[in-house]
Structure 1
Amino acid sequence: MQAIIEAITSKEGIVNLTPVIFTALIALMARLLAGRTRIRWGVVHDLNYYITEEEKKVMVWTCQIVFINPSKSIAEDIEIVFNYRPLHLSVFPHLKYEISENPDRRIVVKIDKLNPKEIVNIAMLNTHTELPHMTSVRFKGGIGKRIDLEPSRVFPVWIRGLIGFVMLAGVAAIFYVIARLAVSIFWVG
């Protein structure tokens, strides 16, 4: 065991292990950044209010759900299942989709594909009864994950670029410090 430690901490051991360590780090980063397909969804708004219709008040429920493909690969065969059919359901932007009913009378909205970074909204409206709950979001290769959404400020491109540059410089500085520490600790010479 002592011989192995001396071989690793020697000048030749460090020189020989450095490419192996960097190759392993690059392979790990490539795996983490690989194009796994994902679907994220969240409720943009869920409102109910009264409107007056022919001298009587009617309760109206509205809801908008957004579906996002944040990955770098195409999400295929998306199925969104609701408890029952609302009075009105619309999909935007306009794309090919089908609405079908399961034997247990649940409504399934099928979307053929979502391209990378594509966003689709489903808006629903109902009167007199609450809107149906969404029971599942599935796609070829996985299950959709709910995310919390809220309005936020979108900064100009130059500010986002500056923030990205500062973060990249910080990562480079961390690697530089780690490399300098490794050389000062293990360098025998």
Structure 2
Amino acid sequence: MPRIETLSDRLIAAIITGAIGLLFWAIQRWLEPGAKLGWWIPHDFIFAVPMTPPAPTPLKVQTSTLTVQNLGRKAAEDVQIMHQTKVDHFQLHPRRDYTETIAADGTHTVNVGSLGPKEWLQIQVLSHTTPPVLVGVRSKDGAAKNVRFQLVRQFSKPVQMLLGISLLIGGFAILYWIVRAVVFISRANGML
């Protein structure tokens, strides 16, 4: 006996088709290569350097490091690091060409050109008069995101391989049980 298709069946099919299409569109956008800048400050310290008399207070010297990395799969163009005012001394590591500009409001911008995929750059800052106040990091593709980081012990290659294989096996096991659940629910509802 042929099955008669009702309006609710068509509506459910349209919703499922739209949801699957939206899911594949989102996956395609997520996998599309793009520049993605991230920044973090792994080091920031203030030294109180004692002064000889007659100086009543110690000299405060601040050192800090700003790390900027392109976490994406496309080159980040026109990378800019902006501080509220010009810092006393800074240098880039690894060394590279850069340009400096100071805006009318005093914002100091260091333009480093571009960062390739997975390429990183550190700005080492030493200040004794003007503390470094980061305003932002950006590229042509938009503002960089502040990345949370943590120093982690580096395991040996065999341990890393074992962990990777365990993750792979676990991922396949989860996928297997998801497929089994979908098939079970489909059969229970008479769809298969």
TM-score (norm 1): 0.79
**Equivalent position of 2:172 in the other structure:** 172
- For the Cα contact (< 8 Å) 2:44–2:64, is it kept in 1? yes
How far does the alpha carbon of each residue in 1:67-102 deviate from its partner, in whole angstroms, 9 at most, with x for none? 111111111101111112222110111122112211
Give, in whole Å, the separation in 2 of the partners of 1:58 and 1:46. Answer: 17
**Equivalent position of 2:89 in the other structure:** 88
How many residues matched? Answer: 180
Secondary structure of the residue aligned to 1:108 is: strand
Give, in whole Å, the separation in 1 of the partners of 2:9 and 2:89. Answer: 73
Tell me which moved more, 148-157 or 134-143.
Answer: 148-157
Secondary structure of the residue aligned to 1:135 is: strand
Query: Which letter does structure 2 place at the counterpart of 1:177?
Result: W
Give, in whole Å, the separation in 1 of the partners of 2:155 and 2:52. Answer: 46
**Equivalent position of 1:41 in the other structure:** 39
- For the Cα contact (< 8 Å) 2:88–2:130, is it kept in 1? no
For structure 1, the 5+ residue unaligned runs are 8-12
1:3: how far off?
4.2
For structure 2, the 5+ residue unaligned runs are none
Across the aligned residues of Structure 1 and Structure 2, the Cα RMSD in angstroms comes to 3.2
Query: Which letter does structure 2 place at the counterpart of 1:118?
Result: E
How far does the alpha carbon of each residue in 1:32-87 deviate from its partner, in whole angstroms, 9 at most, with x for none? 23223211111111101123566664221111011111111111101111112222
The higher-RCO structure (CA 8 Å, 6+ apart) is: 1
Change (3 A) 1:71 1:158: farther
- For the Cα contact (< 8 Å) 2:86–2:130, is it kept in 1? no
Give, in whole Å, the separation in 2 of the partners of 1:82 and 1:6. Answer: 59
- For the Cα contact (< 8 Å) 1:63–1:125, is it kept in 2? yes
TM-score (norm 2): 0.77
